[in-house]
Structures are given as structure tokens and as C-alpha cells.
Amino acid sequence: MRPALRDAPPDEAAIEPLPPPAPATAPPSPPAPGTAPVDPSLPDATPTRIVVVDDVEPNAQILAAMLETLAGAGVTVFTDAERAVRWCVAHDPDLVLLDYRMPELDGLACLARLRAVTSESETPVIMVTSDDSRETLRAAFEAGATDFLRKPVEETELIARARNLLRLRLRHRALVRANEALARAANEDDLTGALNRRRFIELANIEIERCRRHRRPVSLIVIDIDHFKSINDTLGHAAGDAALTDFAGACREALRVTDLLGRMGGEEFAVLLPETAMASATDVAERLRATIAERQVALDGVTLTITASLGVAQWSEPAETLDALLHRSDTAMYLAKTGGRNRVVATKPPPEE
């Protein structure tokens, strides 16, 4: 039988503490997931990370020993609440067991700190204490505790509560991933990862309206891959897909995070450049053209080299719409095509009425 957990008495002098862990300048590394058999009752039998925080190390070790019987659980123990908070911020554990009474940073203060820095992940926290008064329970739950355990902790109850919270945690995480995948599917082209046409137009209109309000420049580049049909006809659609994917990757590498890259259809793409006037936009287009022409795509022993024709236009405030800007950029791109391909053509702004 494992010894019962206890709260720290006012005078710890009579207690023979376990040797302290070796000092470290950085938080300990998280347990490697998958080093123990996973718990088949958890979603996808996923390995989990659990943190135990108690200033009385024997108490913390007792809890850790209980939790390690939960297959797949990697347990990290802290007797310093401040270090525990820093570790949780860095490693986003799946469950935290937190002692209520601790010196300096007590359980409530530690929980408040955790909730302040992990609000998005909502890590479940079990508060552990021998004080089961209504006031203590209310204070713990108001501070953000997910569950509550009374000392002495009974192992069967601890494992049952921990397993239930881990199930909820992992299902929530899976739901977040599924929602992110749905958002990507709704907003991105599934082959290239560029924005789809609908999302590009939506975000480009927002950006143009911002530039209209603040009287800032914005430019648009329309890009069309040269001789793309011949790639599909001679090498097959797999080669065409590889060319499109590599092309989009090359564009992303050459653009800023604030620029918008969208696939408008087939082999045609568009790039919106916020805070960019015509001269700089033309430089960006030329850099894109050169980057694309220098890349090689290897596919089944065949090396593809692709080029592109680019048309550039600067938004002409205040009345020009995105459709009109796209039309001018598209016209410039066709001039690049008819002028020999693998080149950049910049269009002049429309005459003022």
C-alpha cells in the first residue's frame, strides 16, 4: 500500500525530504511520447504528458507513481510552482495535478498563472488538497480548476478521473485539428496550398479597402505558367500537379508573409502586394520570374523546368475595383505571353476621368 499524501505542516524540519533534483538552468525535457505502451481506452491510443506540482516531493512522487500506471503517460514532477508554469507554457501538457497549499506561489495563484498563459489550450487541472471545505472548492473552481481530489488520494479514483480528463482533452484536440482541416479545405487550394479563388478575392477586397481608407499603395501580379498544357499532354497530369505544387512553393518562398498568393484557376495565380507601389511590385515580379525559371522539378527520371509570364498593375485609387485591377494585370500578363513568354509586363494606370 502506498503511503497517504499529506499537506505540508508549518514546520518541515522533522521531515526527511527526498534528495532534490539536480539543478537545471532550463526546464526538464518532456518525456518522450510513445516510450510506454499507450492506453487503448484513450482516443487513437495517444501518448500523454502529465505534470504534478507539489512542494512536498514525497507527495509529488506518490502521485507520479500512481499516474505512471496509466499506460502511455509521461509524468514530470515539480516542487517549484514557478518552474512548473514555465514548463507548461513551453510544452503544453495534457493534464496538470496541482497542490492547493504551497509556499510563495500557492495552488490558486499557480492556477491563475497557468490559465492566463494557456487559455487557448485549456489544459485540464486537478486541484489536490486535504481541505475540502465549500470555500476551498469554490475558490479552486472559480480560479479555473477542472476537477478536485481530496487527500489522501485513492489511486483508483485518481486514475479514473485522470483518464476521463485525458479523453476529453484528446477529443478536444482532435476536434481542433478537424476544424483547422475544414478551414484549410474551405480557404485553400488542396493541391498547391495557395488561397483558393474565393478566399483570395475576399481577402484582397479587404486589403484594398484598407489601402483606400489609409491612402496606401497596393499592387497585383497575375502569373500564368508557360506551356502548361503541353506538360499535361506529354508527361501526364502527375507531372502537371508536381509543377503546380513546386511553382506555388517557389512563390511562397519569395513573398512576404503579408502578401496574398491565390490560385485563380488552372495554371493561373495572383499575388496581392500590400503597401507596394508599381516600381517595387515590378521588382517582386521579376524576382518571382527568375526564381521560377531557375527551379527544376524531378519526376520519375524526368526533370522539368518551367517558366511563367507575369503582368503587374498598381491599384489606382479611389474608385478602381478589384475586378478592374485583375483585368489590367491579366491584360499585362497576356502581353507578356505574346511578347515571348518568361517575362514581366507592367501596365500603366487607367487615365483619370
Q: Known catalytic residues?
A: 267
* DSSP collapsed to 3 states, 4-52: CCCCCCCCCCCCCCCCCCCCCCCCCCCCCCCCCCCCCCCHHHCCEEEEE
DSSP state of 94: S
Name residues whose C-beta falls within 8 Å of residue 156's C-beta, 6 or more positions apart in sequence.
none
DSSP string for residues in 132-201: --HHHHHHHHHHT-SEEEESSPPHHHHHHHHHHHHHHHHHHHHHHHHHHHHHHHHHB-TTT-SBPHHHHH
Q: For the purposes of burial, counting CB atoms within 10 Å of the CB of 17, is it exposed (0-12), middle (13-18) or buried (19 or more)? A: exposed
Q: What's the grid cell of residue 196?
A: 483558393
